[in-house]
Amino acid sequence: MMNIAIDGPAGAGKSTIAKLVAKEKGYIYVDTGAMYRSIALYMIRNNVNIEDDAAIKNACDEISIDISYEAGSQQVYLNGENVSVEIRQEQVGNMASKVAAKPVVREKLLQLQRDLAAANNVVMDGRDIGTFVLPNANLKIYLTASVEARANRRYKELVEKGGNPDLEQIKADIEQRDYQDMNRDIAPLKQAEDAVYLDSSNMDINQVVQSIIDKINCL
């Protein structure tokens, strides 16, 4: 099976890029962030105290996460309910970054991610795919961009949706998320030694996609 790992910080464009690469190559796009977000949604809905390890463990025992593909797009089910839209909220993303630091949560999702990669050609994006989940991936990409570039993209996206966002607040949120994801004890975000480093600050989507496709075609 072909396994392509794309890791990098929030807002670097991983999911947009990974989706386009997967489509071009006929692979499945696996969004692992959506799995952490679904667990986070459960914690929010059930007011689980995430400082309490026993409460987190109990909650994890009650959670089942399933992935399916509808018209090529990944759907994530939390205990049978399709939560693909609800998990996109900012608040859920922030909680996901917190619960993703818990070993019991990571353990729960590891096998699901490895099983998907063992059974399919995948482009999988996340934070620890190249370093931990798929150490033998055929190609590993570390996709990043400056905080300014990522904040500006997010700002534009929100303006296009008709919002009135605060650029400084977006920057602060991105910095906080980077800090949490890079400084946790377990599977922190970092570049795998054998990953290709791509800084997309001054590249457009097509350039990034093309450079990854070129690398896949050389494998």
Footprint of ligand DC (CB under 6 A): 10, 32-33, 36-37, 93, 96-97, 100, 126-129, 177, 181
15 versus 26: smaller Cβ distance to ligand DC: 15
Give min distance, CB of 218 to ligand DC, in A. Answer: 26
Give min distance, CB of 9 to ligand DC, in A. Answer: 9
Q: Which of 86, 90, 61 is nearest to 75 (CA)?
A: 86
112 versus 196: smaller Cβ distance to ligand DC: 112
Give min distance, CB of 145 to ligand DC, in A. Answer: 14
Residue ranges of alpha helices (H) inside the chain are: 14-25, 32-45, 53-62, 90-99, 103-119, 147-160, 167-183, 205-217
Q: Which of 101, 162, 139 is nearest to 21 (CA)?
A: 139
Quote the CA–CA distance of 21 and 122 in Å, as a whole number: 10
Tell me if 175 sits within 8 A of 6, measured CB to CB.
no
49 versus 91: smaller Cβ distance to ligand DC: 91
Give min distance, CB of 113 to ligand DC, in A. Answer: 8
DSSP secondary structure letter of residue 129? I
33 versus 149: smaller Cβ distance to ligand DC: 33
Quote the CA–CA distance of 130 and 118 in Å, as a whole number: 15
